[in-house]
Amino acid sequence: MVKGGEEWMKGTATSCTVVGALIITIMFTAAFTVPGGNDQNTGFPMFSHKRLFTVFIICDVLSLFSSSTSVLVFLGILTSRYAEEDFLGSLPTKMIIGLSTLFFSIATMMITFYAGICIILPGKSWVTIPVICLASVTVILFGFMQFPIIFDMIKSTYGPSIFDRKKKHFS
């Protein structure tokens, strides 16, 4: 059972590390190649005065930092010792944190995308609304696929244990 758990943890952590690393690369690049480019005279972004640009930058930074956190947590899982007692607390906690920060990273990455589209195509809701709806599918799918796993890990790690239950005495 420990061997099977180790294989599942390593496989999941490896896949999520790749996804997190891709998000880090995208969000790092997006921070320096902002929508609209930079003003040739000042070097500041052209749309820095717009509120949507602030949303773009804040969500870009949040996505970058949360994906970096998830990659570090998943690397911690990959380098764990996988002892039996680690499966009771340490490894599930790392997996919960890693998946949660990866989900947050994907959500904020999509908000960054929405803000960028709205900055580049102002007043063209006939284009932006369908694009935003289609892009939302990514976050929704990831949520539907990962939340049951996260919920089960939280319940089994932090919920009542079979060892903590009170016994019924028959009289």
Q: Is residue 167 part of a domain?
A: no
Q: Is residue 169 part of a domain?
A: no
In the chain, where does DSSP find H-type helix? Answer: 2-32, 51-78, 90-120, 125-158
Q: Is residue 52 part of a domain?
A: yes
Distance CA 99, CA 42 (A): 41
The pairs formed by 166-170 with CB atoms below 8 angstroms and a separation of 24 or more are none
pLDDT, tens only, 144-156: 888 888 888 888 7
Q: Is residue 165 part of a domain?
A: no
Q: Is residue 113 part of a domain?
A: yes
pLDDT, tens only, 20-59: 999 999 999 998 888 877 778 887 888 878 899 899 999 9
The number of folded domains in the chain is: 1
Q: Is residue 122 part of a domain?
A: yes
Write down the residue that tokens 């063209």 correspond to: 124
Write down the residue that tokens 């998830």 correspond to: 70
Domain coverage including residue 14: 2-35+47-158
